[in-house]
Amino acid sequence: MPHAVTTVGFDADDTLWQNEQFFRLTEARFAELLSAHTDTEHLSDRLLAAEKRNLGLYGFGIKGFVLSMVETAVDVTDGKVPSSVIAEILSAGRDMLVHPVEPLPHVKETLDALHGHFRLVMITKGDLFDQERKLAASGLGDYFDAVEIVSDKNAATYDRIFRRHGDGAPKSLMVGNSLKSDIVPALDAGSWGVYVPHALTWSFEHHDKPEKHPRFRELEDLGGLAELVRGLKD
């Protein structure tokens, strides 16, 4: 009997490898740098507001995050932030851009189990250079039949990608840790969506679970994905 799914899409950050923890560590460093120059009680909220405001200009990823930190530092200090602090913020961003890539548990064995039986597509948003760097450093590139680095993820994105690299959204499945970016728009496109929560997920990516959707599934980790995919029925 043919599989209900022929193409499996994977998110990258915090699905295949660690990512958000480095943003959290850098944000803590940012707060420490500004602690001598301003009240940091609401600094996280101010930074998040800047990030959201700048998404349309800088997109997702480390570079936009760094620019938003610089903007926030200038804003909360009324333009009095020392140049040495700006230099430290830029240094923190460079550290993020060269940080080693740490695959999450069960990633390699899951890709081994699926590779050659399904078309595998990595679908990630973010900075092109950084995402290409992380994929190369992860050692996972050979598992994927295609890699799509996109500016945003919505139903049209998944419809286009799954038609380009598979048999269309109804015969495809998307795996990821973000309900807002990975699961809900993939379901809206007509594919299956498998939510694999990560302990750290950016607040911008939060969304209610579509628990009543017939094509929604949830796993604690990637360890059960191969069995789930093989067991799906139209």
Amino acid (1-letter code) at residue 44: S
Distance CA 57, CA 6 (A): 36
Q: What is the mean pLDDT of each run of 10 residues along the chain (234 residues)?
A: 84 91 89 86 89 86 91 93 94 90 93 96 90 93 96 94 96 96 96 87 67 94 95 77
pLDDT at 31: 92
Distance CA 93, CA 73 (A): 14
**Residue listed under structure tokens 């507001």:** 49
Sequence-separated (6 or more) residues with CB below 8 Å from residue 20: 13, 14, 198, 200, 201, 202
Q: Report whether 176 contacts 16 (CB < 8 A).
A: no
pLDDT at 202: 53
SS3 per-residue string spanning 67-83 = HHHHHHHHHHCCCCCCH
Distance CA 172, CA 183 (A): 12
pLDDT at 151: 86
- Nearest CA-CA partner of 37 in 83, 88, 81, 92: 81
pLDDT at 132: 92
Report the relative pairing of strands 172-176 and 146-150 from DSSP bridges.
unpaired
Q: Is 115 helix (H, G, I), strand (E, B) or coil?
A: strand
pLDDT at 199: 66
Whole-prediction pTM: 0.84
pLDDT at 227: 95
Neighbours of 230 (CB within 10 A): 14
Distance CA 165, CA 200 (A): 30
Distance CA 124, CA 178 (A): 11
Distance CA 198, CA 116 (A): 27
Task: List 122's β-bridge partners, or say none.
Answer: 10, 147
Eight-class DSSP state of 61:
S
